[in-house]
């Protein structure tokens, strides 16, 4: 019931119409009988700072941050959690007493999605992409103590930037170009391969995978952070190779669950959130 004690929670991005976060969070808020509502706002980059100030002024409990604001929002926050600072990206902002603090639940959500399938983050890791999600996954893997994290991206300099962050955490790292010959060898060695690019996402779900799956080890775990569609061209190609595959829905669920706990200080109703996502897809 919305009354004078009502507290809003938000999501900002550009665009946001495709997001399943409102459905997931509102199902959880209802299950916990909280007088809160989660709403999505399409915020163009030039209005990012104003949107943060507006949410503070309107008494928001907090808000999530998605593409393209995860990196650019850092200067507009009062405080940033150490993990998010290392990743250079924020996806969750908590507002308390008019002050903002940024967190990143993407990395923890990704690791939780692996644990959900009984998979341990170890060995050689290959991450495709150099955006906020790629940073989060790379840093989370490094903090888990993997042997090496390789970043593959069309822009080699952007890949090197993430690689330097990983090395600062004491883990070996390497950057490769999508067009370079080194990529084939990295694919052959990788224990876990992660697509953190939007390739294969609706409405371009028929786009070919970002790499040639023929070079994968049959024992490799292939993760696609795309969750719409649930079964991407990459996942289908990797399964035909004999690989274990994980879609992006698990990461979406668990990063959302961690954000819910930050917003409410309550244990998230995981299964209700999972069911809501299944309905949304």
**Along the 281 residues of the chain, how does pLDDT read in single tens digits?**
667 789 999 999 999 998 999 999 999 999 999 999 999 999 999 999 999 999 999 999 999 999 899 999 999 999 999 889 988 899 999 999 999 999 999 999 999 999 999 999 999 999 999 988 899 999 999 999 999 999 999 999 999 999 999 999 999 999 999 987 899 999 999 999 999 999 999 889 999 999 999 999 999 999 999 998 999 999 999 999 999 999 999 999 999 999 999 999 999 999 999 999 999 88
Residues in the chain, overall count: 281
Can you list the positions of beta strands (E) in the chain?
7-13, 36-42, 62-65, 79-80, 92-96, 99-103, 124-128, 148-153, 172-177, 192-195, 221-224, 244-246
Q: Can you give the pLDDT at residue 132?
A: 85
Q: Can you give the pLDDT at residue 143?
A: 93
Catalytic one among 70, 172, 186, 267? 70
Burial class (CB in 10 A: 0-12, 13-18, 19+), 26: middle
Task: Return the C-alpha torsion angle 119, 141, 222, 256, nearest 10.
Answer: 80
**Pairing assessment for the beta strands 92-96 and 62-65 based on DSSP bridges:** antiparallel
Q: Can you give the pLDDT at residue 5?
A: 81
* Rounded-to-integer distance, Cα 201 and Cα 198, Å: 6
Q: Can you give the pLDDT at residue 18?
A: 84
* Rounded-to-integer distance, Cα 61 and Cα 218, Å: 46
* Rounded-to-integer distance, Cα 159 and Cα 148, Å: 14
* CA 11 centroid distance within chain: 14
Is 172 an active-site residue?
no
Domains of the chain plus CATH, in order, are: 7-104+251-280 (3.40.50.10860), 107-247 (3.40.50.720)
């Amino acid at each position: 019931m919305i009354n004078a004690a009502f507290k809003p929670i938000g999501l900002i991005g550009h665009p946001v119409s495709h997001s399943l976060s409102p459905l997931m969070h509102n199902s959880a808020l209802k299950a916990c009988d909280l007088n809160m509502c989660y709403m999505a706002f399409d915020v163009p980059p030039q209005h990012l700072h104003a949107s943060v100030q507006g949410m503070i002024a309107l008494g928001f409990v907090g808000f999530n941050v998605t593409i393209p604001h995860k990196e650019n929002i850092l200067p507009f926050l009062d405080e940033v959690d150490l993990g998010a600072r290392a990743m250079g990206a924020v996806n969750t902002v908590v507002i308390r007493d008019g002050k903002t603090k940024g967190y990143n639940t993407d990395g923890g959500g990704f690791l939780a999605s692996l644990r959900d399938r009984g998979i341990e983050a170890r060995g050689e890791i290959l991450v495709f992409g150099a955006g906020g999600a790629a940073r989060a996954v790379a840093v989370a893997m490094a903090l888990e103590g993997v042997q090496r994290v390789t970043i593959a991206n069309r822009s080699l300099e952007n890949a090197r930037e993430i690689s330097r962050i990983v090395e600062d955490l004491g883990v070996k790292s390497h950057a490769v170009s999508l067009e370079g010959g080194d990529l084939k060898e990295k694919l052959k060695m990788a224990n876990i391969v992660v697509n953190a690019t939007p390739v294969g996402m609706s409405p371009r779900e028929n786009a070919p995978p970002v790499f040639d799956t023929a070079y994968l080890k049959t024992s490799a775990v292939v993760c696609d952070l795309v969750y719409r569609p649930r079964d991407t061209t990459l996942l289908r190609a990797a399964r035909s190779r004999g690989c274990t595959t994980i879609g992006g829905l698990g990461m979406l669920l668990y990063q959302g669950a961690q954000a819910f706990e930050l917003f409410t200080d309550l244990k998230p109703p995981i299964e209700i959130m999972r069911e809501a996502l299944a309905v949304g897809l």
